[in-house]
Amino acid sequence: MTQLLQLSISGLALGASYALIALGFSVVYRASRLFNFAHGELLSLGAFLMTALVEVMPWWLALAASACLTGGLAALLERTVLRRMVGRPVFTTIILTLFLGLLLRAGIVIAFGTDTRGMPTPWDTMAEVQVGDSTVLLSSLISLGATSLVLFGMHALVQRTPMGVAMRAASENQEVALVLGIPVGRVLAFTWFLAGATAAVAGIFLGMFPRSVDSNLGYVALRAFPAIIVGGLESVVGAVVAAFMLGLLEVWSQAYVNPHLGAFGHNFHAVFPYAAMILFLVLRPRGLWGEHEVRRV
């Protein structure tokens, strides 16, 4: 029981990071109708910026600054490259974002090198807390809390503020939104800024002990894909819920499924979500909360 609780907490902490990543993918998809494969590199960019900025300013300020810088870069990418892709096939945008990701990655290697760095924290990096009769890393709890805060903040922003209403309108139908006087271009830029900023926060919390920051951090985004697909690309809530489920599934299967599979189980938890996703999609091709598509000729 103790082990289950401990695993569940670390699963939820992992799920929280996945949720932030999934959120970024999902808001961008709703706004621009494209799947941003370069999102993972924004994660590692945020984390690397944090390790550099924390040397010159207080921790909280560095967190905000790296989130803003990463968000700014995401908005810039949208404005300069991806907005030209409006109306082009899905295929083109997939490839374009994949290659933008490769370029970003090379830029990160040039700017920050390939060394592995530890993520500094204002609290003791390896501090542990007693929850019931199990010990949990303080960093896990804080990242769980902080990401929940960001998620609720996003929810409030999208549901309650004029900007949120504009975002929802623009994702519903861009032309009608334009006619109604919504500055769709600025809304798109703001959406991408938010996606970049949440990616940076996710990267920073993912880089904390027991993990570290290196140029491969961006690959974590690939592990979040099953959540986004199962949750349904169009549904932000679905993606976030599925991301928490994914975190739990990964941690639980590492503890309970891997040992029963013998040699095949080694590292099986890393691919188990993908196998689960493929089976799931056979049953529900549009995801858990994805809207049913009406087909017209």
Partner 1 sequence: MPTRPLVIRYEDDLKLFPGLWQRAGVALTLSIALAYPWLVSTRWLTVGNLGLVAIVGAASLMVLTGFAGQVSLGHAAFLALGAYTVAVLGAKHGWPFWLALPLAGGVSALVGVVIGAFALRLKGLYLAIVTLGLVFLTQHVLLAYPEVTNGLSGTAVPMYWWFRDDAGVAASLSETWLVGGVGFTFERKLYFVFALLAAGTVWLTKNLQRSDSGRAMMAVRDQDLAAEVLGVGTTQAKLQAFGVSSFLAGIAGAMFAFQQQYITVEPPFDLNLSIQYIAMIVLGGVGTVFGAVSGALAFTFLSPLAETVGGAIPLVNQLTSAQQSTVLLSLVVVLVLVLEPLGLFGVWLRVRRYFQSWPFRY
Q: Which residues bind to partner 1, rule: CB under 8 A?
A: 35, 81, 84-85, 88, 90-92, 94-96, 98-100, 102-103, 106, 109-110, 222, 225-226, 228-229, 233, 263-264, 266-268, 270-271, 274-275, 277-278, 281-282, 285-287, 295-297
Give least dist CB 225 to partner 1, A.
5
Closer to partner 1 by CB, 52 or 106: give it: 106
Give least dist CB 87 to partner 1, A.
11
Give least dist CB 94 to partner 1, A.
6
Give least dist CB 102 to partner 1, A.
4
Closer to partner 1 by CB, 113 or 132: give it: 113
Closer to partner 1 by CB, 1 or 282: give it: 282
Tokens of 10: 């670390």
Closer to partner 1 by CB, 81 or 126: give it: 81
Give least dist CB 76 to partner 1, A.
14
Closer to partner 1 by CB, 26 or 143: give it: 26
Give least dist CB 88 to partner 1, A.
7
Closer to partner 1 by CB, 80 or 130: give it: 80
